[in-house]
Amino acid sequence: MKRIFSGIQPTGEIHIGNYLGAIQNWASLIDDYDCIYCIVDYHAITIDFDPGMMQSRIMETAIINIACGLDPDRCSLFVQSHVPEHTELTWIFNCITPIGELERMTQFKDKSKQHRHNINIGLLDYPALQAADILLYKAHFVPVGEDQFQHVELTREIARKFNRRFGETFPEPQVLPPDTPRILGLDGKKKMSKSMNNYVGLTEPEDEIWEKLRTAVTDEARKRRTDPGNPDRCNIFTIHTGFKSREDLEAIDRDCREAAIGCVDHKRILYDDMMAHLAPIRSRVRELRENVDYVKEALEKSARRCREIAVEVMDEVRAKTGIRPVN
Return residues touching ligand AQP (CB under 6 A): 7-9, 11, 17-18, 21-22, 144-145, 147-148, 182-183, 191-195
304 residue type, one letter:
R
Among residues 111, 212, 267, 320, the one annotated as catalytic is 111
* Cβ at position 191, least distance to ligand AQP in Å: 4
Pairing mode, if any, of strands 141-142 and 76-79? unpaired
| Under 8 Å between Cβ of 256 and 234 | yes
Among residues 109, 191, 212, 301, the one annotated as catalytic is 191
Rounded Cα–Cα distance for residues 180 and 197 (Å):
21
Q: Which is nearer to ligand AQP, 126 or 271 (CB)?
A: 126
* Cβ at position 192, least distance to ligand AQP in Å: 4
Catalytic: 190? Answer: no
Q: Which is nearer to ligand AQP, 155 or 162 (CB)?
A: 155
Q: Which is nearer to ligand AQP, 144 or 278 (CB)?
A: 144
Rounded Cα–Cα distance for residues 241 and 272 (Å):
14
Rounded Cα–Cα distance for residues 299 and 66 (Å):
10
Residue 35 phi/psi, 5-degree rounding, is -95, 125
Of all residues in the shown chain, the one whose CB is closest to ligand AQP is 21
| Under 8 Å between Cβ of 88 and 310 | no
* Cβ at position 324, least distance to ligand AQP in Å: 32
For residue 34, the SS3 value is: strand
Q: Which is nearer to ligand AQP, 261 or 299 (CB)?
A: 299
Catalytic: 189? Answer: no
Q: For the chain, how many residues are written?
A: 327
Catalytic: 194? Answer: yes
* Cβ at position 51, least distance to ligand AQP in Å: 16
Q: Which is nearer to ligand AQP, 94 or 195 (CB)?
A: 195
**Contacts (Cβ under 8 Å, ≥6 apart) of 121:** none
Q: Which is nearer to ligand AQP, 26 or 271 (CB)?
A: 26
* Cβ at position 319, least distance to ligand AQP in Å: 31
Rg, Å, the chain Cα set: 21
Q: What is the dihedral of CA 41, 209, 289, 277, to 10 degrees?
A: -100
Which stretch of DSSP H or E encloses residue 61?
A: helix 51-67
Among residues 109, 138, 190, 194, the one annotated as catalytic is 194
Which stretch of DSSP H or E encloses residue 108?
A: helix 106-114
* Cβ at position 61, least distance to ligand AQP in Å: 8
Q: Which residues are catalytic?
A: 111, 191, 194
